[in-house]
């Protein structure tokens, strides 16, 4: 019927086509989204069944009913029944229906679908091939490759990295153009040789570094381990492991991948792991196997698990080292109905960590190769470039623009002259020339002249600048800084470490230092010092911070505390010692207090379980102090298993003191996080069967969760904590709760459900924890002393004298932060201190007096008002030349960082000498750092813990302290060392030196290239822009590579404007580099103008003074173009090298060798080229020896040219030195006077100072008296931290302290200016009376000078 119906053929009915055609047509209609009707015959029924596919869903219905509806619909639309589809057909069931095959589009969509979790099947071989997953979700193999290149990609990727630099790209274009003789004025090999040398050296360096990476990768990939093959464990290499394999790791081996532990040799199914390679922490951590109580993991069990019915459902690979969410589903034959067990971070063994104190473990590979957490953390730190390097890029681009302008001018000039002026020079016969100088085609002449000039003027761009700069930075960082003995910490055997050399000069331009407190300013070695139990304070003694504050106030100091009784414990109070607490009326509360100390922790005991021999491995020094304190009070934590804790407690049997072992079953552990600020454990005592919740945490967190009844001494405890915070102690609250078994059972179900969630597990666990951590009973609080590091007060004083503002970002309470700020000289008695907080509003919100919305509105207004008042104080302080400080708490800081207040907050902060932000979170640290950084101020962030990583990476410069909190901060930093005091030397010495060296080096690089390149430009214009060169090709190519490069390296590596000790003694010297005074636009323009002057003077004097055009030899040989060019090159080379010598403040044998050696090399190369075959020497053949060197005017001419060329610089520095000296000049004169007074002896460190005397001196521009200086036969001794005396006053620097009252020094760059035109500064006065400077020998008097 369809075949006979012409409308069916016309409308393309599928029934009017053969079967194959119908299938193609049907597939096509499916692809465009048209619903398809498929038919099928069902043997079980005489009625046909129709399958309707619509929007991806299958509906099965009565075929005849489908046909009737379809025909009616087709007649209504004027079409055959084959085009209609019944859409409103009630689906019915069918025994079998023909399902259509998925289309290509559907298959691609299925592959591209992003699964929400990873499902891993356990088994041998390769159980998880991931064929149906997108590439990014497939499981990677266990081989790693950390190299940047391989054999195929090295050439293209390496060349791409090199030619990303604009200068290198330019030189490549010049080299390409030089291949065309019609255009290029020089030989190709003279451009390709230096370019190949520079690029080749850089590529060789990349190749060596990458080869080392590949060698390390190969060692790891071929390491041995054991894998279960379905029957037994067999040896294999790491790269053979696949996801889902069961592996076995033995003692002291590294884990080959991220593993979920199933079993271990320990009876408690636990193991000890060292994560030193991950986070730098050397203390051991406990890991536990999967908790399946009724299943024994043995070879038979592993074989059954490998049958494909057991799988792990977990989160996708990520870089979080401390989180993991997943579930283990064990199927048949072990559990026919299946069993699901939750997995958490304590079951995870990370690649890079190693097994310790455990014979073996067995686990499942879950993340392999580059999916492992350690590899996903192995990303490069944020790319940072120094401010000076960015400016240098701008200079290069400016030079390129100038080169294009000069080339265009040359092209226009050459084209115009060929068209109009060339006919007057008949001897040139331009009408006979080719296209290069054809007067009939001036456009071609101009184009060729442009490219000729483009090649010729390339010497304006220093080709060796980037290579030389990189070499200098490597020496500065890896040689000088890494090997600085003064920055070596002997106690921990930790040297300074420059992890990057890109920011060497940035160290000399820092405006703001943002520092963590704990572990950075303090030692992070906690000592249990005081405590409060049931509202009674215990503990005697005065903290180091209290003593520092009293000393600064001039108050009498109490005697020092005795040494710690044992490490981490320095508590003295007879009311609690030696079991005396048993006799107190509140003994039960004391017992609970000590139990919390001994049980609410994650410490691992090692060694013989007796108090005198046991060793505790703690994740933090706070926990170690608590466990040691519990031991001293009679609650000795002696053993830990996977599910129990055993504590040896003091007990009284029949009135006699004794001990008993009490075992507590650990039911749940609610771990400490920076967001929770508390830790809780739920245990069940085997003695009385009670379920107890023990909690410790910050006071504001614990007080929110206290019961309304039974906490009558919480006010007294709060008073104790406030008082201890003012003494700089770290406080923590301890509480407990007895839980009803039924309540616990109900809560535990919710906890298990939350712990098995794959999505948002942390948030769900926090919600569940809040359900049980309530109605607490306060037991008391602890106070732990964290002493200041040695040299912190001096370092902060020195930084502030150097005009560097110091911001301290800490999580401590406000009073603790203020007192530590006073102890470390950050806050002074003379400083106007502005405190910004909203404590009253916080109390009203906690008491329910105001709601959250009202709090936000009132708090925002309050913070805004306080910031505005602070700005008024700051402006008044600037008028009085006084210092201002600011303290702001975490809640206020949250509001101050909002867009409407951020600008005002930043304005106030930049006007303050010191800023303390307390109660801040890690995120707030990073936000504050970013805010200050975005203001344009160079920031340096320093910290020691993982919570400081965001701040370190956000700052311009990140410094990590390798302290007690691991190496996370170090691994994210740019520079690292062991003590905060080394920051003074890093900035004031290395940073200042590096900046001045690199700034002068880069400036000189451009100066010398302008001077040399412009002589080529002038001569080219002198020859009508014809492209004629005045120098030999080889000599031009050697200019940047051989003749002027090595002296610049000496300047960049070794120069010192003042002695190292003087740079530390006079921190005000830092202000000059901080203001970028050596690389300002004005200074660059001055040097560019000077380069133009040198080029013009040298050219004019040589061409119009020395050269007169006559024959200068008896044979009639003229002193021609190449002889004149040699003279000009000699004069210019000597002038430039002598100029560099004038820039050097510090001369060594190396300086003499490279400066005078470069000049000598010029003469040697000239003589060699003169006698070399003409094909290689080109125009230098028989030029120097037979002609140039034989003429006296050559030897007498280049010296005056060189001297006159550099005379303006000599005159200017003489004028500035005598009439406008800088602070560095003054210090140089002081050092010179000291050196003369000490008989010229050299300065050495490590010598004890002698008697201090005053020295009278006279100089051409200064006379006065040096106060309090020391003379020694061996030189100067360094100032020791313990000998530093606190200054009696703080004021602006008065150089009368150095030279006497007769004279004054001028203001230095970056110093204080008038309040109308200056930016906020953070200076402090200095008195050199406390500095150990060399003076006269004892047998000489001042008159002998």
Beta bridge partners of 355: 273
Cβ atoms of residues 375 and 624 within 8 Å: no
Q: How far is CA 788 from CA 475, 929, 947, 995, in A?
A: 33, 24, 20, 31
Packing angle, helices 1149-1170 and 1045-1054, rounded to 10: 170
Q: 388 Cβ partners below 8 Å, 6+ apart? A: 505, 506, 509, 995, 998, 999, 1002, 1076, 1079
Count of residues for the chain? Answer: 1345
The dihedral through the CA atoms of 1334, 1340, 1343, 1345 has a sign that is negative
Distance, in Å, from the CA atom of 256 to the CA atom of 354, rounded to the nearest integer, reads: 9
The answer to whether residue 267 is catalytic is no
The strand pair at 1252-1258 and 57-62 is best described as unpaired
Which DSSP helix (H) or strand (E) runs through 1257?
Answer: strand 1252-1258
Distance, in Å, from the CA atom of 627 to the CA atom of 615, rounded to the nearest integer, reads: 11
Q: Choosing from 62, 258, 516, 944, which is the catalytic residue?
A: 516
Residue 1116: CB atoms within 10 A of its CB come to 7
Distance, in Å, from the CA atom of 1092 to the CA atom of 1014, rounded to the nearest integer, reads: 7
Phi/psi zone of residue 959: left (φ > 0), alpha (ψ -120 to 50 degrees), beta?
A: beta
Which DSSP helix (H) or strand (E) runs through 270?
Answer: strand 270-274
Q: 560 Cβ partners below 8 Å, 6+ apart? A: 547
DSSP for 1180-1201, written as a single string: GTTTTTTTGGG-HHHHHHHHHH
Residue 205: CB atoms within 10 A of its CB come to 14
Distance, in Å, from the CA atom of 714 to the CA atom of 589, rounded to the nearest integer, reads: 13
Q: Which of 256, 247, 246 is nearest to 223 (CA)?
A: 256
What's the token pair of residue 676?
């929770």
Cβ atoms of residues 1147 and 1054 within 8 Å: no
Distance, in Å, from the CA atom of 351 to the CA atom of 1336, rounded to the nearest integer, reads: 63
DSSP for 482-498, written as a single string: TT-GGG-BTTTTB--EE
Rounded to the nearest 5 degrees, what angle is found at the Cα of 985, between the Cα atoms of 982 and 988?
140
Cβ atoms of residues 1127 and 1107 within 8 Å: yes
R_g over Cα of the chain: 41
Give CA 954 to chain center in angstroms. 8
Distance, in Å, from the CA atom of 1132 to the CA atom of 1137, rounded to the nearest integer, reads: 9
Residue 1298: CB atoms within 10 A of its CB come to 26
Cβ atoms of residues 1292 and 1325 within 8 Å: yes
Using DSSP's 3-state secondary structure scheme, residue 339 falls into strand
Q: What is the longest distance spanned by two Cα atoms in the chain?
A: 133
Strand order, beta sheet including 354-356:
285-288, 270-274, 354-356
Give CA 134 to chain center in angstroms. 33
Rounded to the nearest 5 degrees, what angle is found at the Cα of 1028, between the Cα atoms of 1022 and 1031?
100
Rounded to the nearest 5 degrees, what angle is found at the Cα of 346, between the Cα atoms of 345 and 348?
65
Strands (E), 124-213: none
Residue written as tokens 């300002």? Answer: 1080
By annotation, the residues acting in catalysis are: 516
């Amino acid at each position: 019927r369809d075949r006979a119906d012409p409308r069916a053929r016309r409308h393309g009915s599928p029934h009017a086509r053969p079967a194959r055609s119908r299938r193609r047509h049907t597939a096509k209609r499916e692809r465009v989204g048209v619903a398809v009707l498929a038919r099928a015959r069902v043997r079980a029924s005489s009625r046909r069944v129709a399958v309707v596919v619509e929007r991806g869903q299958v509906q099965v219905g009565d075929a005849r009913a489908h046909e009737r509806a379809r025909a009616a619909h087709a007649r209504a639309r004027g079409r055959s029944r084959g085009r209609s589809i019944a859409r409103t057909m009630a689906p019915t069931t069918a025994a079998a229906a023909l399902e259509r095959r998925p289309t290509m589009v559907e298959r691609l969509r299925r592959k591209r679908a992003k699964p929400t979790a990873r499902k891993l099947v356990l088994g041998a071989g390769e159980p998880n091939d991931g064929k149906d997953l997108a590439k990014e979700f497939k499981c990677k193999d266990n081989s790693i490759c950390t190299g940047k290149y391989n054999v195929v990609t090295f050439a293209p990727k390496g060349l791409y990295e090199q030619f990303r630099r604009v200068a290198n790209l330019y030189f490549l274009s010049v080299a390409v153009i030089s291949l065309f003789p019609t255009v290029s004025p020089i030989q190709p090999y003279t451009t390709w040789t230096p370019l190949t040398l520079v690029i080749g050296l850089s590529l060789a360096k990349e190749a060596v570094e990458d080869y080392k990476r590949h060698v390390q990768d190969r060692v790891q990939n071929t390491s041995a381990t054991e894998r279960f093959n379905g029957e037994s464990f067999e040896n294999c290499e790491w790269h053979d492991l696949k996801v889902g394999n069961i592996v076995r790791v033995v003692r002291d081996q590294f884990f080959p991948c991220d593993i979920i532990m199933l079993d271990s040799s320990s009876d408690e199914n636990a193991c000890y792991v060292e994560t030193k390679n991950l986070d730098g922490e050397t203390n051991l951590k406990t890991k536990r196997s999967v908790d399946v109580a009724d299943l024994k993991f043995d070879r038979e069990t592993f074989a059954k698990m490998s049958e494909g019915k057991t799988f792990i459902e977990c989160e996708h690979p990520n870089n979080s080292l401390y989180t993991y969410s997943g579930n283990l589903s064990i199927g048949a034959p072990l559990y026919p109905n299946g069993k699901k067990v939750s997995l958490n971070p304590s079951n995870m063994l990370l690649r890079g960590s190693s097994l310790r104190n455990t014979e073996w473990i067995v686990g499942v590979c879950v993340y392999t190769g580059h999916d492992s957490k350690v590899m996903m953390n192995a990303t490069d730190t944020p790319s940072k470039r120094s401010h000076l390097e960015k400016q240098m890029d701008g200079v290069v681009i400016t030079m390129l623009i100038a080169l294009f302008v000069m080339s265009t001018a040359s092209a226009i000039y050459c084209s115009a002259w060929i068209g109009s002026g060339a006919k007057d020079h008949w001897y040139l016969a331009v009408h006979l020339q080719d296209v290069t100088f054809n007067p009939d085609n001036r456009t071609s002449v101009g184009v060729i002249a442009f490219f000729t000039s483009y090649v010729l003027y390339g010497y304006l761009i220093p080709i060796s600048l980037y290579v030389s700069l990189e070499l200098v930075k490597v020496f500065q960082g890896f040689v000088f800084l890494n090997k600085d003995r003064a920055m070596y910490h002997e106690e921990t055997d930790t040297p300074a470490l420059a992890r990057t050399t890109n920011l060497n000069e940035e160290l000399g331009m820092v405006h703001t230092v943002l520092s963590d407190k704990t572990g950075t300013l303090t030692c992070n070695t906690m000592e249990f010092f005081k405590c409060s139990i049931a509202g009674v304070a215990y503990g005697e003694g005065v903290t180091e911070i209290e003593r520092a504050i009293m000393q600064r106030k001039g108050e009498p100091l109490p005697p020092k505390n005795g040494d710690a009784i044992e490490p981490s414990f320095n508590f003295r109070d007879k009311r609690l010692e030696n079991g005396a607490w048993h006799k107190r009326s509140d003994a039960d509360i004391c017992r609970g207090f000590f139990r919390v100390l001994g049980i609410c922790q994650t410490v691992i005991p090692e060694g013989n379980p007796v108090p005198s021999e046991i060793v505790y491995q703690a994740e933090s020094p706070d926990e170690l102090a608590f466990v040691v304190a519990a031991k001293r009070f009679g609650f000795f934590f002696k053993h830990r298993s996977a599910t129990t804790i055993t504590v040896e407690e003091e007990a009284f049997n029949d009135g006699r003191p004794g001990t008993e072992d009490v075992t507590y079953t650990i039911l749940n552990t609610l771990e400490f996080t920076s967001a929770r600020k508390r830790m809780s454990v739920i245990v069940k005592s085997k003695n009385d069967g009670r379920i107890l919740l023990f909690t410790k945490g910050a006071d504001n967190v614990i007080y929110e969760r206290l019961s309304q009844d039974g906490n009558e001494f919480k006010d007294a405890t709060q008073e104790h904590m406030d008082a201890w915070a003012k003494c700089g102690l770290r406080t923590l609250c301890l509480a407990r709760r007895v839980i009803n078994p039924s309540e616990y059972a109900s809560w535990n179900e919710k906890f298990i459900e939350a712990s098995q969630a794959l999505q948002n597990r942390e948030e769900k666990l926090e919600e569940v924890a809040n359900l049980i951590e309530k109605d607490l009973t306060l037991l008391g609080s602890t106070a732990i002393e964290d002493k200041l590091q040695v040299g912190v007060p001096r370092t902060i004083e020195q930084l502030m004298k150097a005009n560097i503002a110091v911001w301290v970002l800490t999580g401590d309470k406000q009073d603790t932060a203020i007192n530590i700020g006073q102890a470390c000289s950050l806050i002074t008695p003379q400083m106007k201190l502005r405190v910004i907080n909203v404590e009253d509003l916080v109390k009203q919100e906690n008491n329910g007096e105001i709601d959250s919305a009202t709090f936000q509105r009132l708090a925002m207004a309050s913070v805004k008002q306080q910031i505005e008042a602070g700005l008024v104080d700051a402006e008044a302080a600037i008028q009085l030349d006084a210092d201002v400080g600011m303290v702001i708490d975490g809640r206020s800081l949250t509001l101050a960082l909002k867009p409407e207040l951020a600008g005002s907050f930043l304005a106030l902060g930049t006007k303050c000498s010191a800023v303390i932000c307390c109660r801040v979170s890690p995120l707030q640290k990073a936000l504050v750092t970013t805010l200050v950084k975005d203001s344009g101020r160079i920031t340096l962030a320093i910290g020691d813990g993982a919570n400081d990583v965001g701040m370190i990476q956000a700052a311009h410069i990140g410094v990590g302290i390798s302290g007690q909190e691991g190496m996370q901060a170090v691994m994210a930093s740019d520079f690292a060392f062991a003590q905060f005091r080394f920051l003074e030397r890093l900035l004031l010495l290395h940073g200042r030196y590096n900046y001045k060296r690199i700034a002068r080096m880069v400036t000189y690089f451009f100066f010398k290239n302008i001077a040399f390149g412009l002589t080529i430009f002038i001569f080219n214009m002198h020859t009508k822009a014809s492209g004629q060169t005045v120098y030999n090709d080889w000599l031009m190519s050697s200019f940047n590579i051989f003749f002027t490069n090595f002296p610049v390296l000496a300047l960049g590596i070794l120069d010192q404007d003042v002695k190292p000790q003087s740079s530390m003694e006079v921190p005000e010297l830092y202000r000059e580099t901080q203001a970028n005074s050596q690389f300002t636009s004005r200074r660059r323009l001055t040097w560019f103008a000077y380069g133009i002057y040198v080029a013009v003077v040298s050219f004019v004097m040589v061409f119009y003074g020395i050269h007169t055009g006559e024959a200068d030899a008896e044979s009639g040989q003229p002193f021609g173009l190449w002889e004149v060019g040699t003279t000009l090159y000699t004069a210019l080379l000597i002038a430039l090298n002598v100029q560099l010598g004038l820039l050097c403040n510090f001369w060594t044998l190396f300086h003499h060798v490279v400066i005078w050696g470069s000049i000598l090399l010029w003469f040697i190369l000239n003589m060699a080229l003169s006698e070399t075959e003409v094909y290689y020497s080109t125009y230098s053949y028989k030029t120097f020896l037979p002609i140039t060197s034989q003429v006296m005017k050559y030897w007498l001419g280049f010296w005056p040219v060189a001297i006159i060329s550099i005379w303006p610089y000599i005159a200017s520095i003489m004028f500035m030195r005598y009439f406008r000296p800088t602070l560095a000049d003054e210090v140089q004169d002081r050092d010179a006077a000291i050196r003369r007074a000490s008989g010229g002896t050299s300065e050495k460190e490590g010598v004890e100072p002698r008697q201090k005397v005053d020295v009278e001196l006279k100089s051409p521009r200064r006379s006065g008296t040096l106060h309090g200086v020391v003379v020694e036969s061996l030189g100067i001794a360094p100032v020791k931290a313990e000998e530093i005396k606190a200054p009696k006053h703080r004021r602006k620097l008065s150089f009368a302290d150095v030279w006497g009252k007769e004279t004054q020094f001028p203001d230095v760059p970056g110093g204080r200016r008038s309040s109308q035109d200056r930016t906020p500064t953070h200076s402090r006065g200095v008195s050199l009376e406390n500095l150990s400077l060399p003076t006269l020998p004892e047998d000489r008097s001042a008159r002998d000078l």
